[in-house]
Structure 1
Amino acid sequence: MNNDPANQQKKVRQQWDEAAANFDNEPDHGLQDAHVQAAWHDLLMRLMPMPPAHILDIGCGTGSLALLLSQMGHDVIGSDFSVQMLTYARYKLTSAGYSLNWLQMDAAHPALGKTQFDVVLCRHVLWALPQPQYVLQRWQSLLRPGGRMVLIEGYWHTKAGLHASDLLAMLPDGMESTTYFLSDNAALWDNTVSDERYAIVAI
């Protein structure tokens, strides 16, 4: 029973539901400090196309990046496996005056039609998904011609995560990529970090 996929999914959802209330306490999650928020704003400006773009924020958590992107003039759909994360995200965006569409779904198997989005954005989720190379192929199918995946990931001191070189090797054939290394940008994390943090834009 412990290996039953439905039971495993239930446990994962419960884990993130329980984490939702304190999720924004991490500086790079809640973006509550002005200098951290400004650093993420500047990074997203570099990674995204000119607004308005139609963006799917996969694993959006409490919606901090979705809010920044909406403020930039993008059309954002947020998705997450956790109902509680989405509850906090809805409140955050509504309080700021934005009304967005939200989807509760499995990031590894998005229940969406193909070629809908200019951008598929994922921050710190891909590393935790099974068979990420196949997940990337599914995400690519969601992109319109000329669309891009923006993948913000890392390999942390806990030995969890994905090295940039490994993620690059998983990209679908034919995609061209640019890597931005982020470890030396302390403002993003509100702290100096020594582990590997990066963003990959794949088109």
Structure 2
Amino acid sequence: MAYARPVSTPASWDALAARYDEADDHGLGDPAVRAAWRELLTGLLPPAPARVADLGCGTGTLTLLLAEAGHRVDGVDFSPAMVRRARAKLAGRTGVTVERGDAADPPLVPSYDVVLCRHVLWALPDPAAALRRWVGLLAPTGRLVLVEGDWHTGAGLRASETVALVERAGCTAELHPLSERAELWGGPVPDERYAVVGRPAQLPKSR
């Protein structure tokens, strides 16, 4: 795979937690950016209430957005500082949890309608193995929703790579280009950004 794997540890993400929400597409503090993400996820997810696993949930921004839309959401992140901030953000809400755990092998019990992961797959040491585990979390009619990018910094995954990984995990793959959706990022971006929706391929019925 032609992408750079970062040195990713709980401590490295703890160090980013205090300022993580400052980016427009992380904190969704701008109402226009928040509305754009709400519209995007509404189009990619099944109607509420769906059971959603938000893997690598960070400070819980998308977790909260989905809970506000009426979904039942379980967030997972391996950074204690991120988990604390997510829990504070979600305090008082029902139907939502945030647990500390590895997104690559989440401590969750099937069956989920959606496994959502944003900007995490590319950073995992074995993305193919992680995808196989995520598919195992899905209900028979469930779907993967992966938001990724091939960033100008040289990190990330090309859309074709993510599609291939999803297909190797036994799913169909539907690509949604997002680079031109400046409203999602707080302005124009110089790199490839996209979402891939994966659905487990249906086995042919035996005669």
SS at match of 1:169: helix
Structure with the bigger percentage of helix: 1
Q: How high is the sequence identity, in percent, across the aligned residues?
A: 50
Name the residue aligned to 1:71: 68
Name the residue aligned to 1:142: 137
One-letter amino acid of the counterpart of residue 200, structure 1 = V
Deviation track 1:40-75 (CA, whole Å, cap 9, x = no partner) reads: 000001110011000000000011101110111100
**Greater Cα shift, 104-113 or 158-167:** 104-113
Give the TM-score of the pair, scaled to structure 1.
0.90
Give yes or no for contact 2:112–2:142 (8 Å, CA) kept in 1. yes
Name the residue aligned to 1:159: 154
One-letter amino acid of the counterpart of residue 153, structure 1 = E
Pairwise CA distance, 1:155: 0.3
Does residue 51 (structure 1) correspond to residue 56 (structure 2)? The answer is: no
Q: C-alpha distance in 2, partners of 1:188/1:90? A: 24
For residue 131 of structure 1, the aligned residue among 120, 126, 135 is 126
Give the TM-score of the pair, scaled to structure 2.
0.89
Does residue 108 (structure 1) correspond to residue 128 (structure 2)? The answer is: no
Pairwise CA distance, 1:173: 4.7
Give yes or no for contact 2:135–2:169 (8 Å, CA) kept in 1. no
One-letter amino acid of the counterpart of residue 37, structure 1 = R
SS at match of 1:193: coil
Pairwise CA distance, 1:39: 0.4
SS at match of 2:104: coil
For residue 79 of structure 2, the aligned residue among 79, 82, 86 is 82
CA-atom RMSD, angstroms? 1.3
Consecutive unaligned residues in structure 1, runs of 5 or more: 1-8
Name the residue aligned to 2:12: 15
